[in-house]
């Protein structure tokens, strides 16, 4: 089995209304339960917005200096909103999980295999 990263692509801006978020939350919980029942679950979690990020970057002094910068390192209209790692037999199976994740979250989902 290969592990795949399902990345939830979230637009910058206001979140859906509380009623919509409750429905999405229930759909995501059902999706995660389906993953567990199928033996495909590895890990999943949502992320705070990009404004909560801190970028850690190697600086000068031969890489001895480490610089910290508050906020995202690029400005974008979309950001990583959450991740799910699944085990799947092949890309087609992983893409099916990606389809289900997109339906549950109502957001685009990028599917990528891990190296090795």
Q: What is the mean pLDDT of residues 74-99?
A: 94
Helices (H) and strands (E) in the chain, counts: 2, 6
Write the CA distances from 64 to 57, 60, 61, 69, integer angstroms.
11, 7, 5, 16
Threshold 0.85, pTM exceeds:
yes
Q: Lowest-confidence range among 16-20, 72-76, 101-105? A: 72-76
| Domain range annotation of the chain | 2-113
pLDDT value of residue 15: 86
Alpha-carbon distance of 75 to 95, in angstroms, equals 28
Q: Say whether 90 sits in a helix, a strand or coil.
A: coil
pLDDT value of residue 40: 98
Return the CATH number of the domain spanning residue range 2-113. Answer: 3.30.70.1060
Determine contact, residues 71/50, Cβ cutoff 8 Å: yes
pLDDT value of residue 14: 85
Alpha-carbon distance of 94 to 112, in angstroms, equals 9
Express each pLDDT in 20-78 by its tens digit.
999 999 999 999 999 999 999 999 999 998 889 998 989 878 878 998 989 877 788 89
């Amino acid at each position: 089995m290969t592990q795949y990263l399902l990345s939830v692509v979230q637009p910058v801006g206001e979140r859906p209304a509380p009623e919509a978020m409750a429905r999405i939350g229930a759909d995501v919980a059902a999706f995660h339960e389906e993953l567990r029942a199928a033996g495909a679950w590895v890990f999943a979690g949502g992320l705070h917005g990009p404004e909560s990020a801190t970028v850690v970057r190697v600086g000068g002094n031969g890489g001895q200096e480490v610089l910290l910068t508050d906020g995202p390192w690029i400005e974008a209209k979309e950001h990583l909103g959450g991740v799910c790692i699944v085990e799947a037999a092949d890309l087609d199976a992983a893409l099916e999980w990606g389809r289900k994740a997109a339906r549950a979250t109502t957001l685009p989902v990028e599917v990528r295999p891990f190296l090795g």
